[in-house]
Amino acid sequence: MRRVVVVVAAALVLTGCGAAGAPEPTATAEPTTAEPTTAEPAPAASSPAASVPAAAPEPAPTPSATPAPAEPDASAFDIDTGASLQVVVNKRRPLQPPDHRPELVAVSSAQEGGELVRPELDAALAAMSQAMRAAIGEGTFVFSSYRGYERQAELYSGYVARYGQAEADTTSARPGHSEHQTGLAIDVSGTGGACRLATCFGDTAAGRWLAEHAWQHGFVVRYPRGLEHITGYEWEPWHLRYVGVEVSTSMHESGAATLEEHFGLEPAPDYAP
């Protein structure tokens, strides 16, 4: 009995000495239960007590860092073949093959004349025109779409004859370099017809809505304002290019304004010599 009293007294002395210098418990440590100060009677030899090991404290989970969003994988898309929805055509990248003619259907949404486009574009255009009409009271009106190699050659020659080649190259593509030949490009206005084929279209309700919402339907404004040094063309708020919702959404989220920037391509301000 005297030994028990001495042990308890020693423990109390040690506790009092260590209180001032003991380290603070960490946030991850589990609280421990204080042992009772009253000694339990020892069990009889014939009835050995079961030995219950004390549970080890569980380590606190290490917070994991939030992974950064993955960069779009440009290699996942075919940007070289004329039949691809993501083909990039500009002054440095002619259409391949030069005489490519895609599968075409008549424009079914706000059609003018006999305009033709790829089926994928037409389905997206119909949905976009409907959403635009619900939002601002007018839909889209297509006035130019697919143009074959020969038709583009005629148009370009006419611009050159009227304005000279240097000026023509800022507004019209040379044959074989036109997005219109892919069947994935359309020139549009609002159904109200304001500012058709003029930069003031960008300031109309229709132009503003398309600039803000066309990406939701897989379209991008292909030749944005102030980026002629990348695209090679003056601002055309009416020229929409269908690239598919995956690419248009990725461009919207990353802030890339041109296909050249999005796919890591060199700028195409002029034709390669």
Encode pLDDT of 15-27 as tens digits. Answer: 333 333 333 333 3
Beta strand pairing call for 140-144 and 185-190: antiparallel
pLDDT of residue 73: 56
210: how many CB neighbours lie within 10 A of its CB? 25
pLDDT of residue 44: 43
pLDDT of residue 20: 36
pLDDT of residue 109: 80
Predicted confidence (pLDDT) at residue 13 exceeds the cutoff of 90? no
* Residue 272: band (very low, low, confident or very high) from pLDDT cuts 50, 70, 90: confident
* Residue 43: band (very low, low, confident or very high) from pLDDT cuts 50, 70, 90: very low
> What is the pLDDT averaged over residues 196-213?
97
Residue that wins the pLDDT comparison between 39 and 234? 234
Predicted confidence (pLDDT) at residue 162 exceeds the cutoff of 90? yes
Predicted confidence (pLDDT) at residue 46 exceeds the cutoff of 50? no
Sign of the torsion angle spanned by Cα atoms 253, 181, 97, 162: negative
- CATH level 2 (architecture), domain 74-262: 2-Layer Sandwich (3.30)
Encode pLDDT of 221-267 as tens digits. Answer: 999 999 999 999 999 999 999 999 999 999 999 999 999 999 999 99
In 3D, which of 138, 85, 86 has the Cα closest to residue 109? Answer: 138
Peptide bond into 97 cis (omega under 30): yes
Q: Where are the domains of the chain?
A: 74-262
Give the range among 8-12, 166-170, 182-186 with minimum mean pLDDT.
8-12
* Residue 75: band (very low, low, confident or very high) from pLDDT cuts 50, 70, 90: low
pLDDT of residue 108: 87
Average pLDDT value for the chain: 81
Give the range among 97-111, 137-151, 161-175 with minimum mean pLDDT.
97-111
Residue that wins the pLDDT comparison between 251 and 5? 251
pLDDT of residue 9: 34
Predicted confidence (pLDDT) at residue 33 exceeds the cutoff of 80? no
pLDDT of residue 110: 65
